[in-house]
Amino acid sequence: MNSKLFLGLMIVGTFMFVAAPVMIAQAPYESTMGLIQKIFYFHVPAWFAMFLAVFVCGVSSALYLFRKNPVADRLAESAAEIAVLFGVIGLTTGPLWARKAWGVWWTWDPRLTMALILEMIFLAYLLLRWYGGPGSDKLAAGLGLFAMANVPFVYISVNVWRTIHPTTNVVPSLATSAPGMFVPFVWCMVAFLILFIVMLAARTRLEEKRAEVEQLYLSLEDV
């Protein structure tokens, strides 16, 4: 990625993140959950970024596997790391919210379960990459592709799995996004999107430089 674009995105992103808490603080309170609901302004965009990362990893894994494009491999590894990162954010802010709003840290709700499964798959991807030794790039690419293909199945199975159990849940009749909440929410979504792009670009660049160093080492040996 062109460094001017990168710098520009970083500046915009930083600005947005600085402005975000102010906007969030000024947003109206949600009537049933009160203060804790404000987590959602970062929680939801974090998950959105995670899914984006999963998608990027899956597609670039496929590209690497079928076209053997080294850029795709770097992109896939970076995206997987970032997916795990945003997943961690989602899985920690979620329970913090849930503790206050629902009284429990965790519940086997379809969405939470699916998120957990996805996170585990990508943790497995990283373990393979780090500890698999040589040749694990292609193997990880296979895993990445399988992970992406698996998403709809996880979705179906977890959704039906939970609905056949009796639940003691109550669907909160939350107010539909009032304009006061809408603007900060979209702001945060865009901010996270920019953050995602910045992170991906930076991490991929790290891999690029590492590859360059390795190349140089190899040519050094030839000398």
Partner 1 sequence: MVVFLILVLSEEGGNLIGDQQPPLLGEPQEEFVPIDQLPPEDQLPAAPLLVAAYGIIWLVVFGYLWSIWKRLSSVENELKTISNRLHND
Partner 2 sequence: MCKDLRIESRSWEMISTIVFFAASCVLVFSFALVREGRPIEGVAPGIIWISVAFAGTLGLGRAFERERHYDALRGLMMAPVERSAIFSGKLLGILLLMGITELIIVSVVALMFQVTLFERPLYLIALLVTGTVGFASVGTLFAAMLVRTRSRGVLLPVLLYPITIPVLIAGVGGTFALIQADPNLDLVRFWIATMVFFDVVFLTLALWTFELVMTE
Q: If binding is defined by CB under 8 A, does position 31 make contact with partner 1?
A: yes
d(CA 35, CA 18): 20
Q: Which two tokens stand for residue 107?
A: 């519940």
C-alpha 219: how far from chain center:
37
Q: Which is nearer to partner 1, 46 or 143 (CB)?
A: 46
Residues binding partner 2: what is the number (CB under 8 A)? 31
Instruction: Encode 89-117: b = buried (16+ Cβ within 10 Å), e = exposed.
Output: bbbebbbebbeebbeeeebebbebbbbbb
Instruction: State which residue, 44 or 124, has the beta carbon closest to partner 1.
Output: 44
Q: Look at residue 145 and give the partner it binds from partner 2, partner 1, none, a contact being a CB closer than 5 to 8 Å depending on partner kind.
A: partner 2
154 makes contact, choosing from partner 1, partner 2, none, with CB < 5 to 8 Å by partner type, with partner 2
Site residues for partner 1, window 111-140 (CB under 8 A)?
111
User: Which of 88, 101, 104, 107 minimizes the C-alpha distance to 43?
Assistant: 88
139 is in the binding site of which of partner 2, partner 1, none (Cβ under 5 to 8 A by kind)? Answer: partner 2
What's the angle, vertex CA 118, arms to CA 76 and CA 159, rounded to 5? 140
* DSSP helix/strand/coil, 177: coil
The only residue of 5, 32, 68, 146 in contact with partner 1, by rule CB under 8 A: 32
Residues 33-72 that bind partner 2 (CB under 8 A): 65-66
Residue-by-residue DSSP string for 37-54: GGGHHHHHHHHHHHHHHH
Q: Which residues bind partner 2 (CB under 8 A)?
A: 65-66, 117, 120-121, 124, 127-128, 131-133, 135-136, 138-139, 141-143, 145-147, 149-150, 153-154, 156-158, 160-161, 164
